[in-house]
């Protein structure tokens, strides 16, 4: 399910020789929803040779960036602690949480706040209640941007979109279900429509039986800094009902975020 980050053509850049670069690859292996990885899978996903992956994993465990559970590894609490100190995401979470809670109460859908992180979306907040049982995301988790509603909203506004699409044409698109967008040209058409409409809809591209509607969240200068989405079973994913609530929430987050940034 994991999709490697966009890579340049040189092996040296794809698989860095430095210890820090290899450690980053090991941590990046947990993208796209992986919770527990055995050493062989950690090595395969990261591209770091098994012997080096083992040595680095032991050091990362000592630093608290990884935790050992039996014969598997998982991200450590230190990663979460450091993530809470990233200024933009921390500020977004703080100002957005009350509004996202109100949106959940109004829609009873799983509500997400996400930012773009390379070729993935990073979920910085989630309010779901019992709906959490049926959804695929978690705070601090990542999913491919190309097949999520949150990701499509964020990609559609990027000034470097064509360069990203060019790279995707070389690396290929991640495929999570039979409904996942299958070609770069189809993705381009979808993103053009998202830009025109101002919102994105995804149906069963991430998880069969579920879909999402997402809208952008802008900063004080009008630049899109995040996206907010509602996820629900496709049988009750009604865009015309969800969209006004999402737009009002996004506008409220934008105002609060802009006010917080000026203080």
DSSP run (H or E) holding 115:
strand 110-117
Cβ-based neighbours of 11, under 8 Å, separated by 6 or more = none
The rounded distance, in Å, linking the Cα atoms of 124 and 138 is 8
- Tell me what the mean pLDDT of segment 8-37 comes to: 65
Over residues 40-57, mean pLDDT: 89
Question: Is the pLDDT reported for residue 129 higher than 50?
Answer: yes
Tokens of 251: 């506008």
Instruction: Report the pLDDT value the prediction gives residue 262, as an integer from 0 to 100.
Output: 58
Contacts of 100 (CB under 8 A, 6+ apart): 111, 113, 125, 127, 228, 249
pTM check: above 0.75: no
Give CA–CA dist 5/55, Å, rounded: 23
101: exposed, middle or buried (C-beta count within 10 Å: 0-12, 13-18, 19+)? middle
**Position 205 confidence tier, pLDDT thresholds 50, 70, 90:** very high
CATH number, domain 86-262, options 3.40.50.740, 3.10.20.740, 3.30.470.10, 3.30.450.40:
3.30.450.40
| Residue where the block lists tokens 């109100």 | 102
Contact 37, 53 (CB under 8 A): no
Q: Are 177 and 144 in contact (CB under 8 A)?
A: no
* Count of alpha carbons within 13 angstroms of residue 127, beta-carbon side: 19
Under the banding of pLDDT at 50, 70 and 90, the label for residue 119 is: confident
pLDDT tens digits along 65-103: 888 888 888 888 777 656 555 556 677 888 899 999 999
Domain with CATH 3.30.450.40 in the chain: 86-262
Compare 2 and 149 and report the one with higher pLDDT. 149
3-state class of 59 per DSSP? helix
pLDDT in the model for residue 36: 81
Chain region(s) in the chain for CATH 1.10.10.10 = 11-81
Q: What mean pLDDT is reported for the chain?
A: 83
Q: 163: helix, coil or strand? A: helix
- Look up the CATH number of domain 11-81: 1.10.10.10
How does DSSP classify residue 146? G
Q: What tens digit of pLDDT does each residue of 137-148 get?
A: 778 788 999 999
pLDDT tens figures, 140-193: 788 999 999 999 999 998 988 999 999 999 988 999 999 999 999 999 999 999
**Rounded to an integer, what distance in angstroms lies between the CA atom of residue 134 and that of residue 225?**
27
Name the band, by pLDDT with cuts 50, 70 and 90, for residue 221. Answer: confident
Among residues of the chain, what percentage have pLDDT more than 70? 83
């Amino acid at each position: 399910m994991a999709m490697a980050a966009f890579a340049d053509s040189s092996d040296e850049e794809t698989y860095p020789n430095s210890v820090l670069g290899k450690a980053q690859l090991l941590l990046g292996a947990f993208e796209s929803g992986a919770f527990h990885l055995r050493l062989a899978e950690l090595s395969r996903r990261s591209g770091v040779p098994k012997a080096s992956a083992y040595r680095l994993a032991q050091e990362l465990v000592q630093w608290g960036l990884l935790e050992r559970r039996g014969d598997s590894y998982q991200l450590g609490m230190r990663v979460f602690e450091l993530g809470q100190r990233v200024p933009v995401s921390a500020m977004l979470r703080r100002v957005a949480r009350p509004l996202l809670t109100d949106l959940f109460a109004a829609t009873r859908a799983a509500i997400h706040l996400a930012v773009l992180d390379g070729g993935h979306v990073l979920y910085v907040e989630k309010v779901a209640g019992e709906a959490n049982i049926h959804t695929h995301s978690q705070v601090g988790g990542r999913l491919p941007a190309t097949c999520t509603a949150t990701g499509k909203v964020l990609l559609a506004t990027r000034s470097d979109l064509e360069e990203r699409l060019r790279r995707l044409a070389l690396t290929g698109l991640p495929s999570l279900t039979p409904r996942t967008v299958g070609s770069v040209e189809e993705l381009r058409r979808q993103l053009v429509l998202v830009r025109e409409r101002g919102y994105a809809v995804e149906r069963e591209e991430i998880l069969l039986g579920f879909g999402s509607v997402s809208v952008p969240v802008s900063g004080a200068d009008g630049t899109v800094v995040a996206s907010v989405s509602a996820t629900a079973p496709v049988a009750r994913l009604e865009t015309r009902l969800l969209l006004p609530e999402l737009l009002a929430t996004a506008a409220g987050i934008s105002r609060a975020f802009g006010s917080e940034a000026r203080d």
